[in-house]
Structure 1
Amino acid sequence: MTDSGMFEKLFDVSGKVVLVTGGSRGIGLAIAEGFVRSGARVYICGRNAEACTLAVKELSQYGEAIALPANLGAVDGCRSLAQALGEQEDHLDVLINNAGALWAETLAEYPESGWDKVFDLNVKGSFFLIQALTPLLEAAASPEDPARIINIGSIDAFHVPKHETYAYSSSKAAVHHLSRHLAAQLAPRSITVNVIAPGMFKSKMLEGTLERRGEEAVLAPVPLKRFVAESDMAGTAIYLASRAGAYVTGAVLPVDGGTATTL
């Protein structure tokens, strides 16, 4: 007979050490708030130190949040962040790779600088941060309760977008595949790697599209006819980070109101 206490704590993440990149706004802030409210100690990383400080001030009313600003578009920034975290913690239970960039431009005018900015942060930054943090993740890992890496992908990686966001959609497809590759490599070390692929979240990235097309047109292909909510993202991340998600690795979970089923 299974211990009933295990079921009562299936989604418990209290006491876990969590790092959320891109955590000062949007999806990252929503996920960070979910973990803080659930009793985790959450480190917020973003490029803008002031924005990180403001986010931590907001989150601290619910629990424990600490700012660790860094530029993750450069390998040195990834290593510096890992070093800074290692000076405060001897392990890391959960890494949320959410920091990302988008660049939209016509095919004829798409700049190399825009392409590099997107890939440097979305793909290279995620990989080298994982590389730098693997020792801290291993220190938290066990077969029964693995350390968790959760990469934020996109449903744009499932289909060809109508917008000219060539680097963004390509980078998110790379994140999905890289995550599966890392899941296979890190499983023997009791570290899981999964992807949350959100649909349309009311973020800064979506502002231009909403202004041009309007909410009704934007939501037309979404079966559940609403935007991704903060609780949708936080809840999925907590599931993957808790006992409930301990045996899940190499998965890409769409959080998109059913949009992926209509593509």
Structure 2
Amino acid sequence: MASLSALDLFNVKGRVALVTGGSSGIGLMISKGLVTNGAKVYVVSLLSDPITEVVNELNELGREAGGSAEGIPCDLTSKDSIKELGKTISQKESTLDMLISNAGIRRDPPQSCNVLTASLEQLQASMWSIGQEDWENTFRVNTTAHYYLSVALLPLLAAAADKPIGDGIKGRDEGRGVIVITSSCASMHNVTNVDLTSYATSKAATDHLVRLLAAKYNRFYVRVVGINPGFVPSNMNPVGAEGNIFSSLFDKVPAKRAGSSEDLAGTILYLVSKAGAYVDGVSLCVDGGRILLANGQE
């Protein structure tokens, strides 16, 4: 008999996850939510990130529920590095229940202006000031890395989806074998006072990548879903920090606040568990209703 208990529907205890960009911001929120609920999390970050401290914190958080964390460095702009990451995880695990492909960057034009009020000359100078390498690196991390990560880890994800659980049930029936890709509600905005063009374009590409990958992996029922967070505390959006370019906008969000770790962790727990096992190929906007009322920033 099916259980409708929340403890069963959202259970991730003992599951194996890989979270990129997991040492800060949204990735850290997600990692905390997973270990607190008993998952084993491989936290992928740059060598320059404080991975040891983060892993220690996560292991302490997960102690009571049996959750744990391990840090692995990886340069997500490199196809070869992602290939090595796939090999490393394959040596440690026979299945991977979830890939949370979350890492992202934002590169604004170094010569900034208020896009809504700048003169033609000011606007042109600002837009021209961003370097080609900034566009290229933005797409490498925000879009291309999701693609290569999904391909490198596909066998482990497919094995998790196909894993026999008992009574004719397979892992896919419990939500195992899922890829969650972090996009942004910026992919849905056109008018902004700050020039987010390279960032927003890469995130719009990511939204379509979710559907493309879900269609490609359908025969193995490796689900691919996306999340489009709104204003959430991160290095990109230092909520509460002096001079934050978005600080005046929080009261315009219907929720009247920035997003929280509960908002992000709860969304992820739904998508990767039995509760979300029938959700595939869609992106979920988690923005407190911001895009309902505004086409960007004012």
TM-score, normalised to structure 1's length?
0.94
1:211–1:250 Cα change, 3 Å: same
Alpha carbons 2:107, 2:134 under 8 Å: kept:
yes
Match of 1:158 among 179, 188, 192: 188
What's the CA shift string for 1:40-68, capped at 9, x where partnerless?
10100001365122110111112210111
1:183 aligns with 2:214: yes
Match of 1:120 in 2: 140
Counterparts of 1:245 and 1:251 in 2: how far apart (Å)?
A: 11
Alpha carbons 1:74, 1:121 under 8 Å: kept:
no
RMSD over aligned CA atoms reads 1.9
1:190–1:213 Cα change, 3 Å: closer
Aligned length: 262
Match of 2:76 in 1: 72
Match of 1:227 among 250, 258, 265: 258
Match of 1:194 among 209, 217, 225: 225
Match of 2:177 in 1: 147
1:61–1:191 Cα change, 3 Å: same
Runs of 4+ that moved beyond 4 A: 5-8, 213-216
Shift of 1:214: 6.8
Shift of 1:5: 6.5
Match of 1:81 in 2: 85
1:223–1:6 Cα change, 3 Å: closer
Match of 1:129 in 2: 149
Match of 1:31 in 2: 30
Identity of aligned residues (%): 37
One-letter code aligned to 1:165: L
Name which one, 1 or 2, has greater alpha-carbon Rg.
2
Instruction: Name the stretch that deviates more: 28-37 or 43-52.
Output: 43-52
Secondary structure, counterpart of 2:236 in structure 1: helix
Counterparts of 1:174 and 1:5 in 2: how far apart (Å)?
A: 36
Alpha carbons 2:233, 2:259 under 8 Å: kept:
yes
Alpha carbons 2:233, 2:239 under 8 Å: kept:
no
1:260 aligns with 2:291: yes
Alpha carbons 2:42, 2:70 under 8 Å: kept:
yes
1:70–1:214 Cα change, 3 Å: closer
Alpha carbons 2:3, 2:9 under 8 Å: kept:
no
Shift of 1:207: 3.2
Uncovered stretches (5+) of structure 2, i.e. residues with no partner: 63-67, 110-125, 163-171
Counterparts of 1:227 and 1:187 in 2: how far apart (Å)?
A: 35
Shift of 1:244: 0.3
What's the CA shift string for 1:165-188, capped at 9, x where partnerless?
211100000110000111111121
Counterparts of 2:160 and 2:94 in 1: how far apart (Å)?
A: 8
Match of 1:102 in 2: 106
Shift of 1:211: 3.5
